[in-house]
Structure 1
Amino acid sequence: MSMINDKEFKKLSNYKNDTCVSIFIPTQRGGKEVLEEKNKKHLHSEWTQVKKELKDNNVSDDVIDKIGNPIQQLIEDRDFWRHQSDGLAIFSSPDFFENYTLPVNFEAYHYISEEFYVKPLVPAMTGDVKYNILSIQLEDVKLYEASKFSIMPVEIDELTPSRLEERVGFDYKEKALQFRTQGEGGDKTQFHGHGGSERDEKTEIKQFFRAVDQGLKEHLNKESLPLVVFCQDYLFPIYQDANTYNHLFEKVIPGNPNDTDMLGIHQKSLEVFQPYLDENRDNKINKYKELSSTENTTSALSDIIPAVYQGKVDTLFIENRAEVWGIYNEDNMKVEFSDNHENGNISLLNLAAKKTVEMGGKVYLVEHEFMPQKKSKMNALLRF
């Protein structure tokens, strides 16, 4: 499993070669589609199309083999296909190969040029809001740092007790805590066990959660990121009571963390935290609309791309799944448009997106109906 980071994005963005192939496919995490090897077949189909186009463009068999060999190895790697997320991105040239498993619902797409097509990855590089996920049960504690497009584990073994029995000093298996919910879909929980009252059991859990809270406090306060808790519903009120961290998110990720893997934890966290992640984008869209009659916004591609290169773009909105072909001459800051990808033309949206990131701006891929200025495939909010 590999997720994109800033260093790798820059490596992709700056890479040049006579033949660069970028492939994006949607993937499934599990179920019937995985058993039927749908993901594997999808990549095979996409690579077959790419190989035909390379041959039609008179690319030598030797170069095609160098590009295709690592792709073919992925296709044949059964273990690789057991650990997928929502999308797979592949970047291959005769002397370069990388693949990224991402929680992004890509549409099947491929791009052949002298550069890689990084536009679908750009939102992950635009200062996307980070947050922590605390996966907590009475017998297991894990912490992750995540964003909309990434998740990574954080080592906390030296900071917190790993299970309740370490904190309260009794054999949890011998004195198992049980619970049941009153009524279908109810939210009132009864605790009962072999060695204590309901109050004692809740007190022991709270002591454990307080120890976790105190152990993580210094680490969490370094960046003060939002903390989203993943635990069973009945435990979250107890954790809230034990918590002293000021940025605890008010909604829990409900369920048993043991029922999924790290990518599944990330997916479930997005179901709860997504509105918060979209808040910055929505604020920028509203700001564009407020300033739309001023010189601080533009929807003219011929103006946007030179502005990007001059570092004038604060935020770039690009219509998702759209494309504009052409060439940009940096010397005279002139954009030439074309109807197709032939004769050296490149994706101008890809160019603008990666350059905006390089210059420190933000980029959002936006569905057509949410574009601030729908008549254009790219809108820019300029720096004051």
Structure 2
Amino acid sequence: MLHVDIPTRPEFSKLSRHRADGCVSIYLKTTPVTQEVGASRIEMGNLVREAQRQLEEIGFDKRRLAPLLDRLNDLLDDDEFWRFQANSLAVFATPDNLRTYRLANDLTSTVQVSDRFHLKPLFRAITFPHSAFVLALSENAVRLMEMHADLPPVVIKVPDMPKDAASSVGKSTLNDRTFSGRIHGSEGQNVRFEQYVRQVDAALRPILAGRETPLVLAATGRLASVFAQINSYPHLLSSTIADSPDRLTEGELAQLARPVLDEAYAAELADIRELFDRRSGERRTTTDISDAARAATFGAIDTLLIDIDTTQPGFVDDESGAVTFVENDDAKAYGIVDEIAARAFASGARVMGVRREDIPGGKELAAILRFPH
């Protein structure tokens, strides 16, 4: 079983809108190796104490602080919870509730306290989850598996998935004459492949509905091209694993899928950088935090790249988008770029959490605007 639960877009939107008198955001390096998770629990305890220090420093209501700390310490003491971890853990806690997400990404341990959650590192998990579905499709068999970074892949049981191409159409072979009388051979085989793939696609729909995880196809020859034509899942990657999947284990398929994912991510970033260069000549870009904050407040950002590794504390005015920078990151201030990302996301912008070297100009952010400024 894969112990990963990446938030969906609706869940992310709900987190970004949440406001409370005390919002604690914890990101923690963890490990899927249960015997080694003790170090993560110790680090978690240190981060909880740091959150407590920040809240006490601003005179946070003790009647509200107690239930907040109870929730965090209850999680810390939950042995069963700590048995099942991935590479990172995100914890979002208030005096009234607590949410956790186990992530395949390798994130830096940190704690942020404010009146809203710190979500910028979570954008990295959404942008580059290092996760994928792999569909191993052949005339003889079909398998769907899920993979995550540094974790073993798992085969997913799909109800109503056909066993193979021939039995899916009630035949012992794909080379007989079709019902309409069309000739057999390669043309008839294509007809049977289409029937087979339609059943596969129909079986996958309930499993993939609402997901944004990339789908990598492992198939060869005409079957690969037929699936690409009929597939209804919008996140099928154009590159495929062109080896016959029948002779590949789940681990081997995952290994072959990783370069396909890397290629897709690199191509997406290259397209955005190229678009940024074109839009710069039209005065439709900015790398300035203050300009980006105003644009995000008024829904003017189309695409936003943000550096996930730094935090610039301060405030962004709810009405004007004016930015106030502060030196000390206390329990009142929050990450300015984090707030810009949340506002852009809420207005329908594409927001991507990346490393600074992937951002034009090497700044904390780069925005492509919907109209000139």
Q: TM-score, normalised by structure 1?
A: 0.70
Among 201, 225, 241, the residue aligned to 1:251:
241
Paired residues, what number?
Answer: 329
- 1:9: how far off? 1.0
Among 5, 26, 30, the residue aligned to 1:27:
30
- 1:301: how far off? 1.6
Q: Distance in 1 between matches of 2:357 and 2:126?
A: 23
Q: Which amino acid aligns with 1:158?
A: D
- 1:379: how far off? 1.7
Among 285, 290, 299, the residue aligned to 1:297:
285
Task: Say which SS state the counterpart of residue 40 (structure 2) adopts.
Answer: helix
Q: Which amino acid aligns with 2:78?
A: D
Q: Distance in 2 between matches of 1:228 and 1:132?
A: 6
Aligned to 2:178: none
**Relative to structure 1, is the Cα distance of residues 109 and 372 closer, same or farther in structure 2, using a 3 angstrom cutoff?**
same
Q: Which amino acid aligns with 1:383?
A: R
Q: Distance in 1 between matches of 2:347 and 2:138?
A: 43
Q: Which amino acid aligns with 1:251?
A: I
Aligned to 1:216: 200
Relative contact order (C-alpha < 8 Å, sep 6+): which is higher? Answer: 2
Aligned to 1:381: 368
- Residues 157-180 of structure 1, C-alpha deviation per residue, up to 9 Å, x if partnerless? 2132299999999xxxxxxxxxxx
CA contact (8 A) 1:128 1:277 kept: no
CA contact (8 A) 1:132 1:143 kept: yes
Aligned to 1:361: 349
Q: Distance in 2 between matches of 1:219 and 1:382?
A: 40
Q: Which amino acid aligns with 1:37?
A: G
- 1:196-275 residue pairs with structure 2 within 5 A? 213=197, 215-218=199-202, 227-229=215-217, 242-243=223-224, 244-246=226-228, 249-251=239-241, 256-257=249-250, 269-270=257-258, 272-275=260-263
Q: Distance in 1 between matches of 2:141 and 2:51?
A: 46
- 1:92-111 residue pairs with structure 2 within 5 A? 92-111=93-112
CA contact (8 A) 2:105 2:129 kept: no
**Relative to structure 1, is the Cα distance of residues 44 and 83 closer, same or farther in structure 2, using a 3 angstrom cutoff?**
same
The answer as to 2:29 corresponding to 1:42 is: no
- Residues 61-99 of structure 1, C-alpha deviation per residue, up to 9 Å, x if partnerless? 443331122322332333322322221000001001100
**Relative to structure 1, is the Cα distance of residues 63 and 343 closer, same or farther in structure 2, using a 3 angstrom cutoff?**
closer
CA contact (8 A) 2:162 2:200 kept: yes
Aligned to 1:341: 329
- Residues 262-301 of structure 1, C-alpha deviation per residue, up to 9 Å, x if partnerless? xxx9898445422213422221122213333441111222
CA contact (8 A) 2:168 2:196 kept: no
Question: 306-315 or 278-287: which moved more?
Answer: 278-287
Among 143, 157, 160, the residue aligned to 1:158:
160
- 1:229: how far off? 4.7
CA contact (8 A) 1:299 1:379 kept: yes
Q: Distance in 2 between matches of 1:304 and 1:36?
A: 40
Aligned-CA RMSD value: 4.3
- Residues 195-228 of structure 1, C-alpha deviation per residue, up to 9 Å, x if partnerless? xxxxxxxxxxxxxx99974631445699999742
- 1:309: how far off? 1.5
Structure 2 unaligned blocks of 5 or more? 172-192, 229-235
Structure 1 unaligned blocks of 5 or more? 170-208, 231-235
Aligned to 1:77: 78
Q: Distance in 2 between matches of 1:245 and 1:168?
A: 20
Q: Which amino acid aligns with 1:46?
A: L
Aligned to 1:176: none
Aligned to 1:181: none
